[in-house]
């Protein structure tokens, strides 16, 4: 079985800016397991464990569902935590943009016939910067978060949707693309 998810990638310049912010947060010395910048993306749908023979049908379903989906612009801005700043488990950089929720809903609906269950939580676009292990040092991290709640990290053109394999390792997850679907520029007109 392959642990898989569907995501869109952020522009390298945006990743660089968020990485600078992550470095500032790391200086605060909280008890956080930091994610690697090369793994930052916007997960649109987590699929869970899938069989090898599900990859191509999933990609084909996505191709058909997204054939008229225009490219999107995503703004990376602000910091926050899930479920909230008082009881943080995940530290994130915010992502927003017109059409993101619709893209998520299109993919969700398209994959239902393939027996992928709907998400059990609201779609909240973000890039995970770290996972909080304990609240040790959180006050210092929180001060940096609050200082940068509205900091803008840049904008990304989203013109591909990618099916990824996620391999969990002791030093963090490694993501490998299994296939990519281009969003047609002509659909933007």
Structure confidence at residue 186 (pLDDT)? 63
Q: Which residues contact 86 (CB under 8 A, 6 or more apart)?
A: none
Q: What's the token pair of residue 187?
A: 């659909």
What CATH class does 2-188 carry?
alpha beta
| Residues forming a β-bridge with 3 | 49
Asked if omega into 83 is within 30° of 0 (cis), the reply is yes
Residue-level pLDDT at 170: 82
User: d(Cα 85, Cα 53) in Å, to the nearest integer?
Assistant: 41
pLDDT value for 188: 46
Residue 103 pLDDT: 96
- Extended strands (E) in the chain: 2-9, 32-34, 41-50, 72-82, 90-96, 126-132, 152-158, 160-167, 174-182
Low-confidence residues of the chain: pLDDT under 70 = 186-189
- At residue 189, the pLDDT reads 44
Residue 35: which of 146, 171, 142, 136 has the closest Cα? Answer: 171
7 phi, psi to nearest 5 deg: -145, 170
What does the pLDDT read at residue 168?
86
Which among 105, 132, 121 is positioned nearest to 6, based on CA atoms?
105
Tokens matching residue 81: 């935590």
């Amino acid at each position: 079985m392959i642990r898989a998810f569907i995501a869109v990638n952020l522009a390298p310049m945006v990743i660089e800016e968020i990485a600078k912010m992550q470095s500032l947060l790391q200086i605060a010395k909280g008890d956080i397991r930091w994610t690697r910048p090369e793994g930052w993306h916007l997960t649109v749908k987590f699929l869970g464990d899938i069989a090898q023979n599900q990859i191509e049908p999933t990609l084909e379903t996505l191709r058909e569902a997204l054939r008229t989906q225009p490219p999107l612009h995503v703004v990376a801005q602000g910091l926050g935590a899930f479920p909230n700043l008082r009881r943080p488990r995940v530290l994130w950089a915010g992502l927003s943009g017109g059409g993101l929720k619709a893209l998520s809903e299109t993919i969700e609906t398209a994959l239902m016939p393939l027996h992928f269950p709907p998400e059990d939580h609201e779609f909240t676009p973000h890039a995970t910067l770290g996972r909080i292990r304990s609240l040790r040092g959180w006050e210092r991290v929180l001060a940096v978060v609050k200082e940068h709640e509205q900091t803008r990290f840049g904008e990304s053109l989203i013109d591909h949707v990618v099916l990824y394999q996620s391999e969990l390792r002791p030093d963090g997850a490694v993501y490998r693309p299994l296939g990519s679907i281009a969003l047609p520029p002509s659909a933007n007109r």
